[in-house]
Amino acid sequence: MGLCRRYARSKAEAEDMFQEGFIRIFQQIHTIEQPDRLLHWMKRVMVNTAINWYHKHHHEQAETDYEEAFETSTNDHVELLARISTEELLQLVQQMAHGYRMVFNLFVIDGYTHPEIARMLGISEGTSKSQLARAKDVLKEKLKSIGIVSYGSY
């Protein structure tokens, strides 16, 4: 459910996504060949369910600035995430635009690469990078507004 909440806009949407994911898991559990990989497989099913939900309900293509994405893309998010509680982060991520939220979750939280994200979402690699850069900027501004990050320290 936590994974679904990260990808969803609301708790109700997360619950629908969670139910759909578990239906898929139960329908396909007989196909798993390595029982020790069950949790990893279930996570992938849930991530794929979230991506399918995104395509079905919220797919938005945003204009992208590829140069900006390359210039602003850093690994500062790791340090930033260490300063905020899980619930606070969840609330901030849920407020992001759909595309930003999807790319942020896939890259920062779930560890997918930009080429993998591009294939999953049906976007270009540059769009993935641009949306991540913008998501991080949005998150940084939200964190500044609630006093978690000072203007001079990030």
pLDDT digits (tens, 9 = 90+) for 22-52: 999 999 998 888 888 898 899 889 988 988 8
Domains: count for the chain: 2
Whether the Cβ atoms of residue 134 and residue 78 lie closer than 8 Å to each other: no
Shared domain for 65 and 2, answered yes or no, is: no
* Domain span at 39: 1-59
Query: Does 115 score more than 90 pLDDT?
Result: yes
114 band by pLDDT with thresholds 50, 70 and 90: very high
Shared domain for 37 and 70, answered yes or no, is: no
**Coil, strand, or helix at residue 61?**
coil
What is the distance between the alpha carbons of residues 54 and 98, in angstroms, rounded to a whole number? 8
Q: How confident is the model over 101-127, as a mean pLDDT?
A: 91
Shared domain for 65 and 55, answered yes or no, is: no
Shared domain for 68 and 144, answered yes or no, is: yes
As a dihedral over the C-alpha atoms of residue 42, residue 46, residue 52, residue 55, rounded to 10 degrees, the angle is -150
Percent of the chain at pLDDT > 70 equals 79
Q: Produce one character per residue of 6-25: b if its CB has 16 or more CB atoms within 10 Å, e if not.
A: bbbbeeebbebbbebbbebb
Shared domain for 69 and 40, answered yes or no, is: no
| pTM to 2 decimal places | 0.61
Quick one: pLDDT at residue 151? 47
- In angstroms, the Cα distances linking 77 to 4, 13, 23, 94, 142 are 21, 26, 34, 17, 14
